[in-house]
Structure 1
């Protein structure tokens, strides 16, 4: 059984991520001993969104297209409205999400980030949650939508909003420590 202290976690994001939805998982997972990398589209720092305006920058460690999914135990996608909407049209992002799913690794998406999972074709037949405004999208993609702080289905972890982040991170840790999951057919 893998331990969180030996885990490598990849967070993918671009500008417009919900500030807390990148920072809280990044910082909490690091505090628990995981090695956490942030990948952006161009490998450069990205700017968050907090409240009604731009927030703080987050440093990036690499470009999303250079990330090797075999080197990581989990993938985390922060929400916010802007970030996942920009990520879901990027072929490198979709390929990466599909690779994590194919390998049965933990994929965690919060708020609007399940949009990326829909685009990658891995929402169908799964129990999921997300921000209220994307629940129809999840349903239309074939997911069974629940209104709970955290929903996990075959290593796919989803949460609704920043209020759910403690439960979100706890479930990510639990899933990493359970190890690889058998792929659920979409």
Structure 2
């Protein structure tokens, strides 16, 4: 389904919700795609299981080294700290915006839409997220829905969003469809 496709996963050095990284990563690999971990710093990222430290994962490139043109899609895992850190990094924000500028599909779960808001790519889109981002998304021009997954085909690129880890099955299925 994703044979020959390379998918970027963008995560900050600390604060990514581990299951929101590992489940979509596994889905991409199982579908024949190649996932690559991109971060703002070289080395490893520290994942979390809610507030407890989880595993560490080696990155493949920094946002300063990676180019959206080299990928077929982008996954933005959540966690509260992860997107908050990413939206403060201009290179990370530019990396995300480039996927939209190139019309490439993007998938974001939980708090990850904070980074999308900063990249100014949510206006006119229908989305979901962790419930506490509802007002932020509406204020940025999105239509928010409380659903396990929302797929918005608004040009220039398809955007898949989900609310939380409980929605990962639906999120992964919709993400694979968008990337195929």
Which TM-score tier does this pair reach, normalised by the shorter chain? over 0.9
2:149 aligned with 1:150, yes or no? yes
Whole-angstrom CA distance in 2 between matches of 1:102 and 1:112: 22
Q: Which residue of 1 aligns with 2:2?
A: 4
Structure 1, unaligned stretches of length 5 or more? Answer: 178-186
Structure 1: 4+ residue segments shifted above 2 A: none
Q: Which residue of 2 aligns with 1:181?
A: none
Q: Which residue of 1 aligns with 2:97?
A: 98
> 1:100-136, CA deviations, whole angstroms, 9 ceiling, x for partnerless residues?
0011101111000000001000111100000011111
- CA RMSD after TM alignment: 1.0
Match runs of 1:156-167 below 5 Å? 156-167=159-170
User: TM-score normalized by structure 1?
Assistant: 0.91
Equivalenced residue count is 175
User: TM-score normalized by structure 2?
Assistant: 0.94
For the 8 Å contact 1:117–1:123, the answer to whether it is kept is yes
Stretch of structure 1 that moved more, 109-118 or 55-64: 55-64
Whole-angstrom CA distance in 1 between matches of 2:89 and 2:50: 26
Whole-angstrom CA distance in 2 between matches of 1:6 and 1:121: 30
Structure 2, unaligned stretches of length 5 or more? Answer: none
